[in-house]
């Protein structure tokens, strides 16, 4: 396992270079795993094993070396699970000397190994520096749950502690396919994510469809999209929501509700949405769809994607916060890139990324 190396001037078009970091020392003989990289003036990126550019003046930083005198810079203690000791992030005075803290900044039992954790500050708008409306995000992939989660909370610098807000949010699902801008919503309670503006440079031929009526259980083919990549924006409107199913007020996770209802079980209003990566005869597809339920005082909207029951692919879902009583329409943006489908509801509060391999005909 090696560190591949790609460069970009605007995070949209990328050029692959030769592998930057690979195993050839005794201390990394089992591979170069995932990690973080931090550019420090006069120094190079750092992880558990330290690597630095052979030529710091090379703007593409193509050649890397790992000095024997410095490596390894962090070794798992005897009381630690050495197979789960990875993915350090930036918390060092000189990026070469690391000291184990007296206590974890945050922990949770019965979650397994934390894969690819990240911890950073985020604000409602503008720069984080000097902004009093700052929250901290702790994001990680829980090995036992097989999902990615994040919490918002407060970092207590004096105690070196992270105090999470009350709830765990399962609204993060991404594989670093399309770069996103991340900020806090106006209430300071949830992350908002949206693709960077530079992505619009890739838009070329436009295919438009207007005033298409969807019959219950029917399909409307979008013709004219021949590429394996597409940026899709669609808006659904409704003449009535009188047939919406009654929403069970008992606490339920969006993913569980999505798994139970699926994309084939017809409801009062829904499912309706997109069949992405669809084969000509619809034997293969990745569905992304809405369902609308009638709650006690408002409509409940579920955004969901799941596969056929005999395939292993978890359901990804989230509840969309929208007032359908005043504006009876729902929008969705879908970024399709070969086997990857990214889904974003219009306000960016619910986003998820799907990786799926189809044998398209």
Say which CATH number the domain at 343 has: 2.60.120.560
Same domain, 68 and 134: no
Same domain, 24 and 112: no
Same domain, 109 and 152: yes
Question: Per-residue confidence at 301, pLDDT binned at 50, 70, 90?
Answer: very high
Residue 288 is given by DSSP the state: E
* pLDDT on residue 217: 85
Cis peptide leading into residue 72 (ω within 30°): yes
* pLDDT on residue 333: 93
Same domain, 234 and 154: no
* pLDDT on residue 125: 63
Per the CB < 8 A criterion, the answer to whether 286 and 275 are in contact is yes
* pLDDT on residue 146: 64
Pick the more confident residue, 209 or 25: 209
Assess if residue 208 is contained within a domain. no
Same domain, 80 and 133: no
Residue 82, classed as helix, strand or coil, is helix
Q: Which of 231-240, 302-311, 312-321 has the highest mean pLDDT?
A: 231-240
* pLDDT on residue 285: 84
pLDDT surpasses 90 at 293:
yes
* pLDDT on residue 84: 65
> Which residue intervals of 207-335 are DSSP H helices?
254-261
Q: In sequence order, which residues have a C-beta less than 8 Å from that of residue 254 and are 6 or more positions away? A: 170, 302, 304, 317, 318, 319
Assess if residue 176 is contained within a domain. yes
pLDDT in tens, 183-228: 888 777 788 889 888 888 888 888 999 999 888 888 898 888 877 7
Same domain, 270 and 315: yes
pLDDT surpasses 70 at 176:
no
Same domain, 240 and 312: yes
Domain, as residue range, for 162: 103-202
pLDDT surpasses 90 at 305:
no
pLDDT surpasses 90 at 261:
no
* pLDDT on residue 254: 85
Where a domain ends, among 100, 122, 142? Answer: 100
Q: How far apart are CA 8 and CA 14, in angstroms?
A: 5
Pick the more confident residue, 34 or 65: 65
Closest CA to 15 of 1, 4, 27: 4
pLDDT surpasses 80 at 1:
no
Same domain, 115 and 179: yes
Cα angle, residue 188 at apex, residues 182 and 190 outer, rounded to 5°: 55
Same domain, 286 and 184: no
78: tokens are: 């005897």
pLDDT surpasses 70 at 167:
no
Assess if residue 361 is contained within a domain. no
Distances (CA, A) of 110 to 93, 145, 154, 269, 316: 32, 9, 23, 38, 22
Assess if residue 248 is contained within a domain. yes
* pLDDT on residue 172: 53
pLDDT surpasses 50 at 47:
no
Same domain, 128 and 44: no
pLDDT surpasses 90 at 232:
yes
* pLDDT on residue 44: 39
What is the mean predicted confidence (pLDDT) over 51-62?
88
Same domain, 347 and 245: yes
Give the pairing type, strands 286-294 and 245-246: parallel
Where a domain ends, among 72, 100, 128? Answer: 100
To the nearest whole number, what is the mean pLDDT of the chain? 79
Assess if residue 277 is contained within a domain. yes
* pLDDT on residue 46: 36
85-89, 161-165, 355-359: which range is least confident on average?
85-89
Number of domains forming the structure of the chain: 3
* pLDDT on residue 303: 92
Residue 308 is given by DSSP the state: -
245: tokens are: 């199913």
pLDDT surpasses 50 at 153:
yes
* pLDDT on residue 237: 94
Assess if residue 207 is contained within a domain. no
pLDDT in tens, 233-260: 999 999 899 999 999 878 788 888 888 8
What is the mean predicted confidence (pLDDT) over 36-65?
71
Pick the more confident residue, 164 or 132: 164
Q: How far apart are CA 116 and CA 93, in angstroms?
A: 22
* pLDDT on residue 106: 82
Where a domain ends, among 154, 178, 202? Answer: 202
* pLDDT on residue 42: 56
Same domain, 226 and 346: yes
Residue 43 is given by DSSP the state: B
What is the mean predicted confidence (pLDDT) over 62-89?
75
What is the mean predicted confidence (pLDDT) over 132-145?
78
Per the CB < 8 A criterion, the answer to whether 6 and 16 are in contact is yes
Per the CB < 8 A criterion, the answer to whether 354 and 334 are in contact is no
Assess if residue 241 is contained within a domain. yes
Pick the more confident residue, 82 or 16: 16
Pick the more confident residue, 125 or 144: 144
């Amino acid at each position: 396992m090696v560190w591949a190396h790609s460069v970009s001037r605007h995070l949209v078009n990328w050029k692959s270079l030769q592998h930057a970091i690979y195993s050839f020392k005794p201390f990394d003989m089992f591979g170069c795993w995932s990690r973080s990289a931090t550019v420090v003036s006069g120094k190079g990126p750092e992880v558990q094993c330290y690597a630095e550019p052979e030529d710091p003046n090379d703007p593409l930083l193509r050649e890397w070396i790992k000095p024997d005198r410095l490596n390894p810079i962090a070794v798992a203690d005897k009381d630690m699970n050495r197979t789960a000791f990875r993915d350090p992030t930036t918390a060092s005075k000189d990026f070469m000397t690391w000291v184990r803290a007296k206590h974890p900044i945050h922990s949770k039992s019965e979650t397994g190994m934390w894969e690819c954790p990240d911890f950073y500050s985020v604000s409602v708008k503008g720069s984080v520096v000097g902004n009093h409306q700052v929250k901290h995000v702790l994001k990680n992939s829980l090995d036992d749950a097989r999902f990615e989660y994040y919490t918002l909370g407060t970092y207590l610098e004096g105690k070196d502690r992270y105090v999470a807000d009350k709830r765990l949010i399962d609204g993060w699902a991404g594989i670093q396919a399309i770069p996103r801008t991340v900020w806090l919503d106006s209430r300071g309670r949830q992350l908002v994510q949206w693709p960077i503006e530079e992505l619009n440079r890739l838009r070329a031929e436009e295919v438009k469809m207007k005033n298409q009526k969807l019959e219950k259980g029917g399909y409307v083919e979008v013709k004219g999209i021949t590429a394996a990549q597409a940026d899709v924006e669609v808006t659904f409107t409704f003449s009535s929501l009188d047939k919406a199913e009654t929403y069970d007020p008992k606490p339920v996770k969006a993913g569980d509700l999505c798994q139970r209802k699926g994309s084939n079980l017809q409801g009062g209003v829904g499912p309706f949405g997109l069949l992405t990566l669809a084969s000509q005869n619809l034997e293969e597809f990745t569905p992304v769809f809405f369902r609308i339920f009638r709650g006690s005082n408002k409509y409940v909207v579920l955004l969901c994607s799941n596969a056929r029951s005999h395939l292993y692919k978890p359901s990804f879902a989230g509840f969309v916060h929208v007032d359908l009583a005043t504006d009876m329409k729902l929008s969705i943006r879908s970024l399709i890139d070969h086997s990857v489908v990214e889904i974003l509801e219009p306000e960016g509060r619910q986003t998820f990324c799907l990786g799926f391999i189809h044998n398209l005909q």
